[in-house]
Chains A and B, each alone.
Chain A
Amino acid sequence: MKFGIVVFPGTWSDRDCYYALNDVLGQEVDYIWHKETDLSKYDCIILPGGFSYGDYLRPGAIARFSPVMASIERFVCQDRLVIGICNGFQVLCEAGLLPGALLRNDHLQYRCQRVQLKVENNSSPFTSQCKGEQVLRMPISHYEGRYYADDVTLAELEANNCVVFRYSTSTGDITEAANPNGSLHNIAGIINKKGNVLGMMPHPERACEPILGSNDGNLIWESIVVHL
Chain B
Amino acid sequence: MSISKEILDKIALSRREYQLIVERLGREPSEVELGMFGSLWSEHCGYKHSKALLKHLPLGGQRVMVRPGEENAGVVDIGDGLVLVMKMESHNHPSAIEPYQGAATGVGGIVRDIFTMGARPIALLNSLRFGPLSDLHNRYLFGGVVGGIASYGNCLGIPDMGGEVFFADCYSANPLVNALCLGVAEGKNLVKARAYGEGNLLMLVGADTGRDGLHGASGLASRTFEEERELRPTVQVGNPFLEKLLIEACLELAETDWIAGMQDLGAAGLTSAAVESAARGKGGIEIDVLKVPRREKGMTPYEVMLSESQERMLVIVKKGYQDKVRAVFDHWELHSDVIGQVTVDGLARIKEGEKVVAEVPMNLLTSPPLYRRRVKKPRWLDELQSFNVTSVPDLSPREVGPVLLRLLASPNIASRHSVYRQYDHQVGDNAVVLPGNDAAVLRLKGTKKAISLTTDGNGRYCYLNPYVSGAITVAEAARNSACSGAQPLAITDCLNLGNPERDDIYYQLKECIAGMARACRKLRIPVISGNVSLYNETRDEAIYPTPVVGMVGLIEDVTRHCTSGFKEEGGLVFLLGDNRTVDSSLGGSEYLELVHSLVKGSPSIDLDLEKRLHRCCLEAIKRGIINSAHDCSEGGLAVSLAESCLLGGLGFNSRSWNLEGRLDAALFGEAQSRIVVSVAPKLAAKLEAIASKWQVPVRKLGVVGGGRFIIEGYIDLSLEEAREVWWGGLEKYQ
Contact = CB atoms under 8 A, between A and B. Distances in A.
Contacts, number: 84
Nearest to B333: A9
Interface string B400-427: 0000000000000000000011111111
Contact of A19 (B245, B333, B429, B558): B429
Contact of A112 (B242, B424, B443, B558): B424
Closest 4 CB pairs of A and B: A12-B157, A54-B241, A51-B155, A141-B424
A55 B424 contact: no
Interface stretch (A39-47, A129-137, A201-209): A201-209
A13 B426 CA distance: 11
A212 B239 CA distance: 31
Nearest to B239: A54
A143 B240 CA distance: 15
Interface string A83-117: 00000000000000000000000000111110000
Contact of B240 (A9, A51, A139, A208): A51
Nearest to B334: A9
B254 interface: no
Given A19-B445, A110-B150, A111-B421, A206 B155 contact: no
B154 interface: yes
Contact of B443 (A56, A143, A211): A211
5 contacts: A9-B333, A50-B157, A54-B240, A54-B241, A109-B734
Interface string B428-452: 1101100000000001010000000
A12 to B, nearest CB: 3
A16 interface: yes
Nearest to A203: B426
A2 B429 CA distance: 22
B150 A212 contact: no
A19 B443 CA distance: 14
A10 interface: yes
Nearest to B160: A112
Given A112-B422, A206-B429, A10 B154 contact: no
Nearest to A209: B429
B639 interface: no
Given A54-B240, A112-B420, 9 more contacts: A9-B241, A9-B245, A9-B333, A12-B156, A13-B157, A16-B427, A110-B154, A139-B426, A143-B154
A12 B242 CA distance: 13
B429 A205 contact: yes
A49 B156 CA distance: 11
Contacts of A49: 427
Interface of B: 147, 150-151, 154-157, 239-242, 244-245, 332-333, 420-429, 431-432, 443, 445, 558-559, 734
Given A110-B422, A112-B422, A16 B241 contact: no
A117 to B, nearest CB: 15
B422 A109 contact: yes
Contact of A110 (B157, B244, B332, B424): B424
A55 B420 CA distance: 21
A72 interface: no
A15 B158 CA distance: 12
A20 interface: yes
A211 B150 CA distance: 25
A148 interface: no
**Of A51, A208, A209, most B-chain CB atoms within 10 Å:** A51
Contact of A20 (B242, B423, B429): B429
Interface in A7-53: 9-10, 12-13, 15-16, 19-20, 23, 49-51, 53
A96 B476 CA distance: 54
Contacts of B422: 109-112
Nearest to B559: A211
Given A10-B244, A110-B422, A55 B155 contact: yes
Given A19-B429, A141-B154, A112 B423 contact: yes
A212 B245 contact: no
**Of A49, A112, A113, A208, most B-chain CB atoms within 10 Å:** A112
B155 A54 contact: yes
B419 to A, nearest CB: 10
A143 B153 CA distance: 13
A211 B244 CA distance: 28
A37 to B, nearest CB: 16
Contacts of A141: 154, 424, 426-427
A143 B424 CA distance: 10
B241 A206 contact: no
A34 B147 CA distance: 30
Contacts of A143: 154
Given A139-B426, A212-B429, A9 B332 contact: yes
A12 B427 contact: yes
A149 B428 CA distance: 31
A53 B429 contact: no
Contacts of B429: 16, 19-20, 205-206, 208-209, 212
B713 to A, nearest CB: 37
A12 B464 CA distance: 45
A67 B492 CA distance: 44
A23 B432 CA distance: 18
Contacts of A110: 150-151, 154, 422-424
Contacts of B443: 211
A16 B332 contact: no
A209 B333 CA distance: 35
A61 to B, nearest CB: 13
A16 B443 CA distance: 14
A56 B241 contact: yes
A68 to B, nearest CB: 15
B435 to A, nearest CB: 10
B421 A113 contact: yes
A209 B429 CA distance: 9
A23 B446 CA distance: 10
B425 A112 contact: yes
Nearest to B151: A110
A179 to B, nearest CB: 15
Nearest to A7: B248
A12 B111 CA distance: 15
B20 to A, nearest CB: 45
A109 B420 CA distance: 11
A8 to B, nearest CB: 11
Nearest to A17: B429
A12 B120 CA distance: 13
A13 B155 CA distance: 11
Nearest to B428: A16
Contact of A211 (B240, B421, B558): B558
B431 A12 contact: no
Nearest to B120: A15
Contacts of B333: 9
Nearest to B155: A51
A38 B296 CA distance: 41
A214 B156 CA distance: 24
